[in-house]
Amino acid sequence: MIDPTINTDRAGEDFIADFTSLSRIGATPGGGVHRLAGTVEDGQLRAWLRNWLESRDFTVTIDAVGNMFGLIEWTPNAPYVLVGSHLDSQPMAGRFDGAYGVLAAAHAAVRVRRNVTATGQTPPFNLAVVNWFNEEGARFQPSMMGSSVFTGKLSAEHVLAITDPDGVSVEQALTALGYRGTDAAPETAAYAEIHIEQGRHLEKDGVSIGLVDATWAAHKYSAVVRGEQSHTGSTVMADRRDALVGASRLVVALRDLADTFADSALHTSVGQLFALPNSPVVVASEVRMVLDLRSADAEVLAEADARLHEHVAVIEKRDGVHIELTQAHFWGVQSYQPEGIDLARAVAGELGLSSQTMMTLAGHDSTNLKDVVPTVMLFVPSVDGISHNEGELTHDDDARAGVDMLTEVLARMCQGALQDAVLQHAAPAQVAQR
Ligand SMILES: [Zn+2]
């Protein structure tokens, strides 16, 4: 265990002060933040982080899709233990989602380095803090974009060409910010991430640290509902093929679908919808929307998916529209390496922090990373489970405990604690080769 006397920020006050400073960027009047990927605010966040890291002698590198790395090298050519999360947010969202994890990672890394310097025990692995580009997928879809490229699930060329609703590409947005990088991504041995829970379990059970053992499965579809443009006044009702009516029925069908499964086993939503031409006196010709279905049970999700397609066929017939569903982002119920959970549980015990295993309902960058390297995913409590909302809150004590926890986990990972962990899923690409 790291000697507590080495840590000059044992009370975590530096962390809280830095988090307050970071939270001013893109701050909203309601106490939240608005800082979408690739926007001016994202650029300000990046400048803040770069300055923080460089003033503490990290080497900052940027890869082709804007992932930022702050490197500490002890052993030349040795792979890195990565630790981080994302700085981008949803619109009018909370200040903890993602940003907490990036700053916790930065502070934990400094503490680990301080310990290495004090003890003279050079770890076999180097250490890098990471800020993944566009985890949220609010402006550019899909979500978890930077980590998807990093893990070989998407190509950089494909991602750079993706556009936002105004037609601005990822490449244009990153270039404008000066974050269309050319550095090679660091060769990676393992990954750790800490995040707010975004649910109520830890708070309800009075537990400090969540040890994430698996992900909920998710099916996200891009849907296009096509009807025919016509006059809202003069067109006879029987002649109308109203795309917005078809889209509305799809929204409600998806909501009702969730209610057909007991115990909240299925979560569904339509969070985005664009009507064309979106004029007051024109029946909509086309609606574009994103459907989101999630469950902890793969069979429930498969059943829900089948019923969704039945609903689509019924709506097409009834409203004279054509509905096209395209798989936008699918992931299954997948487990994290048990070795990482055991490591984190042991650390929590030694630090005197209560912990429990739990699944994550939300996707995280660690969802991608766990497929290619041993990965530890930790949660800290969220007040009332509120997230993607300005009211998102994690108490200072919980935030500080999370940094202590991450520090010790990271120290052991740099010493090779997860070297022998076995990957649970087939790696799609060699991480070291990009
Ligand atoms: Zn997040």
Distance CA 382, CA 201 (A): 9
Residues of the chain with pLDDT > 90, as a percent, come to 92
Measured in Å, residue 98 CA sits from the centre of ligand 1 at 4
Question: pLDDT digits over 66-89, tens only?
Answer: 999 999 999 999 999 999 999 999
Measured in Å, residue 211 CA sits from the centre of ligand 1 at 16
Residues of the chain with pLDDT > 70, as a percent, come to 96
Measured in Å, residue 97 CA sits from the centre of ligand 1 at 4
pLDDT of residue 9: 64
Say which CATH topology domain 4-216+333-433 has: Aminopeptidase (3.40.630)
Residues with CB under 5 A from ligand 1 (ion): 97-98
Measured in Å, residue 382 CA sits from the centre of ligand 1 at 12
Measured in Å, residue 136 CA sits from the centre of ligand 1 at 7
Measured in Å, residue 364 CA sits from the centre of ligand 1 at 6
pLDDT of residue 391: 95
**The domain 217-331: what is its CATH number?**
3.30.70.360
E strands present in 227-285: 230-231, 266-276, 282-283
Instruction: Kindly tell me if the per-residue pLDDT of 64 is higher than 50.
Output: yes
Q: Which pLDDT band, with edges at 50, 70 and 90, does 34 fall under?
A: very high
Average of per-residue pLDDT values in the chain: 94
| Token pair in block for residue 221 | 């579809």
Tokens 């059970």 locate to: 205
The pTM for the full model equals 0.91
pLDDT of residue 402: 97
Higher local confidence (pLDDT), 421 or 162: 162
Q: Which pLDDT band, with edges at 50, 70 and 90, does 434 fall under?
A: very low
The answer to whether the Cα torsion of 271, 275, 278, 282 is positive or negative is: negative
Measured in Å, residue 355 CA sits from the centre of ligand 1 at 20
pLDDT of residue 427: 46
Secondary structure letter of residue 370 according to DSSP: T
Higher local confidence (pLDDT), 209 or 331: 209
Measured in Å, residue 250 CA sits from the centre of ligand 1 at 27
Burial 292-310 (b: 16+ CB within 10 A, else e): bbbbbeeebbebbbebbee
**Surface-to-core class of residue 166, CB atoms within 10 Å of its CB (0-12 exposed, 13-18 middle, 19+ buried):** exposed
Measured in Å, residue 91 CA sits from the centre of ligand 1 at 13
Instruction: Kindly tell me if the per-residue pLDDT of 344 is higher than 60.
Output: yes
Tokens 């660091």 locate to: 186
pLDDT of residue 400: 96
Whole-angstrom CA distances from 15 to 10, 21, 25, 104, 107 are 10, 10, 16, 8, 7
Distance CA 189, CA 312 (A): 45
* Domain extent listing, the chain: 4-216+333-433, 217-331
The distance from CA 235 to its chain's CA centroid, rounded to whole angstroms, is 46
